[in-house]
A and B are shown apart, each in its own frame.
Chain A
Amino acid sequence: MAGTEYLWLVVLSCGAATFLWRGLGVLVVRRIDPDGAFFKWVACVSYAMVAGLIFRMLAMPESELAGVPLAVRTAAVGIAFAAYFLFGRRLLAGVLAGSLSLATMAQWFG
């Protein structure tokens, strides 16, 4: 087991290192025109990153979800979207329907 001081140092350094990205973002945003093309491009980069992250969590999970067949995960996502739109774009309806159907299907086919 690593020493206590060392672990505190790890936490603080990791916090500082993450903050560098946030701070860099602030410095950049203070210098650019939010209506300009560069801003639009950066927004596109963040949307692509976030969409990629979520797609990775759903399609190529490293968590316990990896044990659930891809077909079951895909079906559960489909059910979630169907419920979301059926209930007038209620996030709660979509997430509940998707998660419950995933758990149920995992019991049956898992």
Chain B
Amino acid sequence: MPASGNRAVIHKALLDALSLPAFILLFTMMGFGSLAQSTGFEAGMAALATLLIWGLPGQLAMVELTATGQGLVAIVFACSLANARFMPMVVSFVPALARGGASLWRQLLDAQLLSINSWAMCLREFPRVDPAFRHLYYVTFAGSIMSAAVVGTLVGFYGAFFLPGVVVLGLIFTSPLFFALVLSATRGLEERLSMLAGCAIVVIAHRLLPSVDLLVTGLVGGSLGFAAGRWWRRHGRD
């Protein structure tokens, strides 16, 4: 039975967020907050960066390039490039919200809330949510992890936490591990092949073109997976 009704869906979204993703964001954004503090940003700037950029690779690029004294154009360009994945992610995600006829402004707001966490988690959980309530699930989930992220940014900024190195190591590991597990449930031949291709290609792309490695990985890996899946569907069953 898919979750339906306001109460049940909000409950599920909060539970899913608090089961891990909110915690992961709390921790990863602590890292960002502490880095932002040491680079000379103010607490409000760091929190606003989490809300507005809402993608860790771009946030890190912003702070790191500012620290090395790069010009504004270079900083903005690097930050934007590091978060270019949001374009295809938004395209593949918005139809899953099943909100036919939503206005442009509402869709832009939905797009701003999207992060790799909500993208992966919603695509995984949506089959268990009544289509009429998927948007509510998404907004609740994304809103709670965003709040956790802002809290994490501020906690990291004020350096209220000291953790031993080995604990930090385990915590850093939770984020990629979580996504790897979530994505292992992905259905669809083309999507699965694309992920396999992406893992192989990123190794090469990262060596050859480190600044645009993920873009190259997406375009090449996605096209290969797409083509191979199509080919298999056409010829594999003969």
Which A residues form the contact surface with B (CB < 8 A)?
A: 1-2, 4, 6-26, 28-30, 32, 34, 39-61, 63-65, 68, 73, 76-77, 80-81, 84, 89, 91-92, 94-95, 98-100, 102-103, 106-107
A45 near B223 with CB under 8 A, answer yes
Distance in Å: Cβ of A68 to nearest Cβ of chain B: 7
Complex Cα–Cα for A92 and B194 (A): 26
Of the residues A10, A41, A56, A99, contact of B173 by C-beta under 8 Å: A99
- Mostly helix, strand, loop or mixed at chain B's interface? helix
B132 at the interface (CB under 8 A from A): no
A63 near B172 with CB under 8 A, answer yes
Of the residues B75, B167, B179, contact of A14 by C-beta under 8 Å: B75
Residues of B within 8 A of A50 (CB): 85, 89, 116, 119-120, 179, 183, 195, 198
Closest 3 CB pairs of A and B: A25-B90, A15-B52, A48-B221
B41 near A46 with CB under 8 A, answer no
**Given A21-B83, A52-B213, residue A14 in contact with residue B173 (CB < 8 A):** no
Complex Cα–Cα for A7 and B114 (A): 25
Q: List 18 A-B residue pairs with CB atoms under 8 Å apart, sorted by A's residue number.
A: A11-B53, A13-B76, A14-B49, A14-B58, A14-B79, A21-B85, A22-B114, A25-B91, A28-B87, A34-B95, A46-B119, A47-B225, A51-B195, A52-B214, A54-B183, A60-B203, A63-B172, A84-B184
Interface residues of B, count at CB 8 A: 96
Which parts of B155-193 form the interface with A (CB within 8 Å)?
A: 165-186, 190-191, 193
A52 near B199 with CB under 8 A, answer yes
B108 near A47 with CB under 8 A, answer no
A49 near B88 with CB under 8 A, answer yes
A92 near B20 with CB under 8 A, answer yes
**Given A10-B72, A49-B222, A91-B178, residue A2 in contact with residue B40 (CB < 8 A):** yes
Complex Cα–Cα for A95 and B24 (A): 11
